[in-house]
Amino acid sequence: MTSDPCRWIGHLDMDAFFAAVEQLDEPATRGKPVIVGGLGLRGVVSTASYEARRYGIHSALPMAVARRRCPDGIYLEPRFGRYKEISQKVRAIIAGYAEAIETISLDEAFFDLSHHGSTTEAVTAVAREIKGRVHRETGLTCSVGLAANRFLAKLGSELGKPDGFMVIAPEQIQEILDPLPVGAIWGVGRVTERRLVGLGLLRVGDLRRVSLDLLVREFGSQGRRLQQLARGEDDTPLCAEVESKSVSREVTYAHDVIDPGEIEREIRRLARDVAGQLERGALLCHVVRIKLRYPDFRTISRQARLGVATDSAQLLEAVAVHLLRNRVSLDDRGVRLIGVGAAKLSETTARQLPLFD
């Protein structure tokens, strides 16, 4: 697996987005610790301003703990309608330059700039222009990473925060990756990180150089994927948005669901419900999506495009589970919301029956 040297993927991440919007709309809160999240007994922090982070406040922290650490902070409920309004402005700016956009959440998106040329200088100039326009037109800062694939682009935006801009050229990959802790690799949550450290693999460079047989023996197919990422290799395609016509089912829990088996069972049930809705509406889908919301309100979606349109419950269930197992990082944070959807729909008067049960 190698990254296409002519492929240029950008990742844009708004800085402390929810809190920054609140500070933008209410000047009296600027320069002060602003904490956005659920204010109830079981509430958790969704986003904390950089002023609040100096008190040790971060996303997913119980709100009660945040109040003890920063009793004079400004605590606010999320205003998702306002956040979505600004998110749409940012997406419209990106759309003016990008060949494809994959929206991850209200404050985060990948985009493809490969068509702007093969030279680093040409594509960098476009990415800088996007970043500058976001600041000028929204009043907010963002961090942008630019690289040959999704993994490296997101890593670049994270390393540059806040208000950062980082290009990872092919010749810089190992120089940047090797010194990082193994937790910087996609899919390495706290449990996997502890296992890797227990094997003496503290840095990405250690993970890159260790025997592949050892990783496969310890982690199965995930071990191969971990070493590929440690080499900066990621051929995951951008899942560009399709038309808005879709059907979906989702469930929100009053408690955090942590057990991966329970999450997978819910994904399977929702996929079957979606398939039933497609059948009743005489519809077929080309795209299957899953959606998860973490306790800190961060919401992610993953999708796969099918070669043939279908309403098969078996196929939708299999694809949804594949996305969960291979495209989502689950750890002891748990999730609050689980959803499955079908998109790029077409009407049909005849159904293709499954060959196997």
The tens digit of pLDDT for each residue in 65-124 reads 999 999 999 999 999 999 999 999 999 999 999 988 988 888 999 999 998 876 889 999
Q: Strand 299-310 to strand 283-293: parallel, antiparallel, or no bridges (unpaired)?
A: antiparallel
CATH superfamily for 178-230 is 5' to 3' exonuclease, C-terminal subdomain (1.10.150.20)
Q: Give the tens place of pLDDT for each residue, 122-146.
A: 999 999 999 999 999 999 999 999 9
3-state secondary structure the chain: CCCCCCCCEEEEEECCHHHHHHHHHCHHHCCCCEEEECCCCCCEEEEECHHHHCCCCCCCCEHHHHHHHCCCCEEECCCHHHHHHHHHHHHHHHHCCCCCEEEEECCEEEEECHHHCCCHHHHHHHHHHHHHHHHHHHCCCEEEEEECCHHHHHHHHHHHCCCCEEECCHHHHHHHHCCCEHHHCCCCCHHHHHHHHHCCCCEHHHHHHCCHHHHHHHHCHHHHHHHHHHCCCCCCCCCCCCCCCEEEEEEEEEEEECCHHHHHHHHHHHHHHHHHHHHHCCEEEEEEEEEEECCCCCEEEEEEEEEEEECCHHHHHHHHHHHHHHHCCCCCCCEEEEEEEEEEEEECCCCCCCCCC
Mind listing the pLDDT tens digit for each residue in 216-242? 999 888 899 999 999 999 988 887 654
The answer to whether residue 349 scores a pLDDT higher than 70 is: no
Catalytic (active site) residue 108 = yes
User: Residue 240's pLDDT is what?
Assistant: 63
pLDDT greater at residue 29 or residue 244: 29
- Is 223 exposed, middle or buried (CB count within 10 Å of its CB: 0-12, 13-18, 19+)? buried
Distance of alpha carbon 340 from alpha carbon 99, whole angstroms = 26
Fold for 246-347, please state it.
Dna Ligase; domain 1 (3.30.1490)
| From 22, 102, 108, 317, the catalytic residue | 108
Among residues of the chain, what percentage have pLDDT more than 70?
Answer: 94
Segments making up each domain of the chain, as ranges: 10-150, 178-230, 246-347
242-248: average pLDDT? 64
Put simply, whether the predicted model's pTM sits higher than 0.75 gets the answer no
Instruction: Find residue 6's DSSP bridge partners.
Output: none
pLDDT, tens digit (0-9, with 9 covering 90-100), for 22-61: 999 999 999 999 999 988 877 899 999 999 999 999 988 9
- Report, as an integer, the average pLDDT of 309-338: 90
The pLDDT value given to residue 241: 53
Domain 10-150 has CATH 3.20.190.10: no
Which range has the top average pLDDT, 36-45, 64-73, 181-190, 326-335? 64-73
Q: Is the pLDDT of residue 355 over 60?
A: no
Which pLDDT does position 87 carry in this prediction?
94
Name residues whose C-beta falls within 8 Å of residue 355's C-beta, 6 or more positions apart in sequence. Answer: none
Q: Does residue 183 have a pLDDT over 50? A: yes
Select the more confidently predicted residue: 245 or 171. 171
pLDDT in tens, 199-211: 999 999 999 999 9
What is the rounded average pLDDT of the residues 256-266? 92
Phi/psi of residue 145, each to 5°? Answer: -115, 145
Q: What average pLDDT does the chain have?
A: 89
- Amino acid at site 71: P
Q: How many CA atoms lie within 13 A of 205 on its CB side?
A: 7
What is the per-residue pLDDT for 314?
A: 93
What's the confidence (pLDDT) of residue 161? Answer: 93
